[in-house]
Amino acid sequence: MKQKTKRAISVYITFTALIVLLTAAECTIGECSITWNDYEAHAVNVKYTDADAYWKDAGSLSLANTSISLYAYNATDGSYSTTAYATTSVATDGSFSFFSPEPNRYKLTGTYDTTANADWIFVPQYVEITNSGASAKDLYAFPASGAGAYTVIASWETTDKDVDLSLTYGPDIDVIATPWTTGNGLAAFDERFHVYYNGPGENDQLYHDTDVRDTAAADVPRVETMSVYSSGWLADNDVIRFYLDVYNDDILTGLEDSEPSSFAQVDLMQGSTHYGTWYIPWNTAENTLEVFYMEYSSGTITVKTAGFADYFKGLDLE
């Protein structure tokens, strides 16, 4: 059975005992200290061109020295603070760390400082740190100069799965589809124009920016990006549908006790604004899933969730 590989850290909370025999304890009578492990991860340009330098672009831009922060969740009103709980800088090798953050939910993103981070658009990630452990999510960003009208970012954790982000477009016909569209390959249910792997579509207004295979080194970020640069080429009532698929023989969503999930998610950026996040289900034995779709009518694009995934607009993880 394939084993799920995750870039993860464990966060532990240790209460030192008030016992005289434990001379090394971090306690005195009536006073104890509480320690959590550091949060360690990497900054990733989701449109990188060099897998060995994924925190850079093809030119001179680098996420090194950018300022990033954790913003704590407020359970009282269900929002994330706009005042940073902790701030750090990305190192020259793309890594970063926060010292001993306490258990809570956090939003991880570039510090709210448009001057310091003006060259980059940050894709907020949401993490929950508990007493028993947490997965450290990487920081995602892409060059501001390359922002499309919409940027779609797919990421996953299981490194031996070849997950692909794909789209189809055109009149919404020849699609054997419901909001729970699933299948074994896109050709089984969507015969319209198809953009996938590396390459453009429709006069370069649709572009698959990055493609990561299961053969990539384990430390290469599993992230793919598609950009929709404009909508003027669309005909009235056209629909763009976005899918996650697995190219190899694995199962996208996993199957309990026999195949791990890819633990994939999809983020949508509308310009520089984070529109929302979709999480795929686990243990449902599906190979292809529609995530969301865009309807074009009278010059306006409307985004709608496909219904299969857990969707939230950046406020809560529940």
pLDDT of amino acid 44: 94
249-297 pLDDT per residue, tens: 678 888 877 788 888 899 999 888 898 889 888 888 778 888 888 888 8
For residue 42, pLDDT beyond 70: yes
**Domain at 1-143: CATH code:** 2.60.40.10
Does 1-143 match 147-318 in CATH topology? no
* Domain ranges within the chain, ordered by starting residue: 1-143, 147-318
Strand partners, 139: 43
128-186 pLDDT per residue, tens: 887 665 567 899 999 988 777 899 999 988 888 888 888 888 776 655 444 334 444 55
pTM for the whole structure: 0.78
For residue 119, pLDDT beyond 70: yes
- For residue 156, the one-letter residue type is W
pLDDT of amino acid 35: 53
Buried b (16+ CB within 10 A) or exposed e, 141-164: bbbbebbbebbbbbbbbbbebbbb
Where does the pLDDT of residue 218 fall: very low under 50, low under 70, confident under 90, or very high at 90 and above? Answer: confident
pLDDT of amino acid 26: 42
Which fold, 147-318?
Answer: Lipoxygenase-1 (2.60.60)
Where does the pLDDT of residue 33 fall: very low under 50, low under 70, confident under 90, or very high at 90 and above? Answer: very low
46-60 pLDDT per residue, tens: 998 888 899 998 888
69-99 pLDDT per residue, tens: 999 999 999 899 999 999 999 999 999 999 8
pLDDT of amino acid 170: 79
pLDDT of amino acid 182: 43
Strand partners, 88: 68
**Residues 174 and 191: beta-carbon distance below 8 Å:** yes
pLDDT of amino acid 154: 93
- Residue located via tokens 């760390």: 97
222-257 pLDDT per residue, tens: 999 988 887 778 888 888 888 888 877 678 888 877
299 or 22, which is more confident: 299
